[in-house]
Structure formats: structure tokens, C-alpha cells
Structure 1
Amino acid sequence: MSTEPGAVQIKPSFLWMMYRCGWGTKEGQETVLSIEITREGFEWALEHACLSHYEHGLHTDRATWKRQLKRAPARVQWDPERDLRLQPLPHRSLQLGLAGEAARLYADEWIVSIVDITPLAHTVHARVRDGDLDTARKLLPHERLYPVSDGILAHLHR
């Protein structure tokens, strides 16, 4: 996924984000924010996204995929979801990278709220370190399946 200046990364899964930022302890990632965006904005990004990697059978050919990737204001990557010990699970979690027009829309129009959840990350991590997985699980933000209209993800997975 893009790490260019001005690029935005959306990671809808709390535990995947904890894996990525090391429970808010990795250098430069010590603050963990929960940013709520509009459904319309999220779906716009999905509709205008391209997979971050070439997928035989989904893309016509590698050259066509490269052209799509270059033009797309958003990129999707599917990574293994994580458990409380941050070990990979058999199902995937969406990661969405925004640049250009999508990053501008995100910053100017889509953001509904921003909450610093660093203390929550540290508290859940402390419970996991102590082996108290039941309490840690109860502290997790409620995440549910995100229903989308037919076809919105068809170009992003087989």
C-alpha cells in the first residue's frame, strides 16, 4: 500500500490495527485514533479502488491492472485478520489506502469523528499480557459485518 506523503490508511479492524502499531508502542505509531467516516465516503473509496496486487483471473492482464492501479485514488489489500495475541486468523481483513482525490475527500468531507483510543489499546494489551483474554475480549470495540450492495467489492476479490 502507498506510503506517499498525504496518503491515508484505513484499517477497519481493531485487532489488525493493534498488530500493525504494536498496541500503540511502535515508534511513530504511539497514538491510535479511531476515525469514523461516512458510509458514502467509504463506499466511494471502495468503488474507486484497485487491488494493490495483480490477481490472475480477476484482472484482464498485468498491464491493464498496472494502468488501473496508477489511476485509482484508492487501493485495497486483504490481510489476515488477527486474534487477541495478534496471530493470523484464516479470514481476511480489508486495508484501504487513499491518495490524491480520495485523501482530500477523506480529510475534507468524510470524517465524522476522531477519538484517541490509545488508552484502550494499552488496557486491552495489558489484559492480554496478563493472560486475561476474557476481559480483553470484553473491552474490544464492537465490530460487525459491513453489508455492501451487490457488486461493490466484485472488482476487489475473486
Structure 2
Amino acid sequence: MAPQYEIRADFDARTIVVYQAYAPAIADAALRAGRFVEPLSFRRMTWIKPSFLWLMHRSNWARKSGQERVLAVRITREGWEEALSQAVLTTADPAAVAGAAVHVQWDPERSPRGAALNHYSIQVGIGRDLIRTFTDEWTVGLKDLTPQVRKAAELLRSGQVTKAQRLFPAERLYPLPRALDGLRAPR
């Protein structure tokens, strides 16, 4: 049986892909600039998710208001692990959570149809003090997945699950450094 708290992601030797859903104005501006720019808010926490299906559940396959555009955000593994090294689990002492630069929470992973699975997916909240580092130093690429997401959603709605799954990004177990083992399970 697989452990309940693992990071599954699309990654290579240097980078990892995280997903975010945005309003069209934010996504369009970022894609035009090739990086995050206003109207993205640099004054509040932004949540990144390496699980494609969890974000599909959260954004209702890019149909939820303000989340109509799905971006694959390729960031450096060095930045990802730096964020995790500063993270506090959202289930920790409230004072520790309030003062943390990065928040981590684990939510049930989702099936293609949105059912909760028996293992958990990580969500990482990048606090406002690190957002510029995330956007300007860690982010190395942005890709609009919205057409792919919409096609997959239509295939799922018509019962063509296997065809839809071919459109999902490949995710595999991310080798979390031992120093970050404490983030694997809520305390």
C-alpha cells in the first residue's frame, strides 16, 4: 500500500510543474509577459499545487468563476525545496502558522471525476514575503493548459475517461529530501 502523504508531480532533473487556476486577466497578462505581472496580487498568499487532478477538482475543470484559466507553472526544484524548507503545516500551532512564510496543507487527492481518494495531495501557500521570489526567481516557464483542460473535461462528461486521461500530465513520486520528511504528514 502506498503511503498516504507523498508528493506526486511532473518534474525533471532541474524543475517541477505546479498548477494554478486564474481569472483570464491574470493568465493573459502573465502569458503575454512570459512571467507573472499585475493584475496578479503580490500582496497575498498564492497557492501552488503539483497535482493536476486536485486543481481540476478545485477549479471545476476551469469552470469556476475566477479560475477559468489553468496554467502549468514550471519552477526550479531548488525553489520548490526552498519553499518547503520554510513551510509550516497548517495543522501546526496557530502562532507558528501565522508567522510562517510558507504554508503546507494536505487534502484528499482526487479521481478524474472528482471523488476523494485515500491518499493526500500537497498544497503549498507561498506567503507575500516570498511571492516575488516565486514569480521572478523560481518560475522558469508558464504554459496555458486551458484548451487541454476543456477537452479533457468534455471527454469525461461524455464518458470517455481513457481518452481524457491521455491529456493529463504525467505525474510520479517526487523524491522529497529527508530533511523535509516532517512535511509528509500532519502533526
Q: Which residue of 1 aligns with 2:94?
A: 66
Task: Report the alpha carbon displacement of residue 151 of structure 1 after superposing the two structures with TM.
Answer: 2.7
Aligned length: 146
Does the 8 Å contact 2:155/2:161 carry over to 1? yes
Aligned residue among 149, 152, 156 for 1:128? 156
Q: Which residue of 2 aligns with 1:97?
A: 125
Cα RMSD, aligned residues only: 1.7
Q: Which residue of 1 aligns with 2:50?
A: 12
Does the 8 Å contact 1:51/1:69 carry over to 2? yes
State the AA in 1 paired with 2:62: G
Q: Residue 134 of structure 1 aligns to a residue in which SS? A: helix
Task: Report the alpha carbon displacement of residue 70 of structure 1 after superposing the two structures with TM.
Answer: 2.0
TM-score (norm 1): 0.86
Does the 8 Å contact 1:35/1:114 carry over to 2? yes
TM-score (norm 2): 0.73
Q: Which residue of 2 aligns with 1:140?
A: 168
Structure 2 CA distance for aligned equivalents of residues 4 and 105 of structure 1: 10
Does residue 43 (structure 1) correspond to residue 84 (structure 2)? The answer is: no
Does residue 113 (structure 1) correspond to residue 151 (structure 2)? The answer is: no
Task: Report the alpha carbon displacement of residue 104 of structure 1 after superposing the two structures with TM.
Answer: 2.0
State the AA in 1 paired with 2:134: Y
**Percentage of identical aligned residues:** 40
Distance 1:4 1:118, change over 3 A: same
Structure 1 CA distance for aligned equivalents of residues 42 and 167 of structure 2: 34
Gaps (5+ residues) in structure 1? 55-64
Task: Report the alpha carbon displacement of residue 18 of structure 1 after superposing the two structures with TM.
Answer: 0.4
Structure 1 CA distance for aligned equivalents of residues 156 and 133 of structure 2: 37
State the AA in 2 paired with 1:42: W
Structure 1 CA distance for aligned equivalents of residues 132 and 184 of structure 2: 22
State the AA in 1 paired with 2:126: L
Structure 1 CA distance for aligned equivalents of residues 184 and 128 of structure 2: 20
Task: Report the alpha carbon displacement of residue 53 of structure 1 after superposing the two structures with TM.
Answer: 1.9
State the AA in 1 paired with 2:137: E
Q: Which residue of 2 aligns with 1:87?
A: 115
Gaps (5+ residues) in structure 2? 1-40
Does residue 24 (structure 1) correspond to residue 62 (structure 2)? The answer is: yes
Moved over 6 A (4+): none
State the AA in 2 paired with 1:26: K
Please state which structure has a larger fraction of its residues in strand.
Answer: 2
